[in-house]
Amino acid sequence: MSTDLNTLRQLAHLARLEFDERNEQKMLSDLNEILNWVDQLNSLDTSSVEPLVHLSHELNVLRTDEPRNTVSHTEGLKNAPRKDSDYFRVPKVLE
């Protein structure tokens, strides 16, 4: 399978890409190599290969999510630019 310069130009237009002549020829060559590689993959018999769902056998290897306080109330207010006893002071948004 291969493609021609017109097809490449149409694809470039759809993808909003611009190529000069030298890069256009290089891109055409690369695109034809990719299409040839896909043809090789299509010729392989994969009927006995089970579809891959996950890349590894490990599932949910994350830690359990346990609620906890990591920053105390006073530590949280310590770096506030403006505060009012227990609250952050922010500019008024609504009138």
pLDDT reported for residue 62: 81
Q: Are residues 32 and 8 in contact, defined by beta-carbon separation less than 8 angstroms?
A: no
pLDDT reported for residue 12: 93
Q: Average pLDDT across each block of 10 residues of the chain; the chain has 95 residues. List them in order.
A: 88 93 92 93 88 77 82 84 85 84
Can you tell me the distance from the alpha carbon of 18 to that of 9, in angstroms, rounded to the nearest whole number?
Answer: 9
Domain ranges of the chain: 5-42
Assigned fold of 5-42 = Histone, subunit A (1.10.20)
Q: Alpha helices, DSSP H only, in 1-95?
A: 5-14, 21-42, 73-78
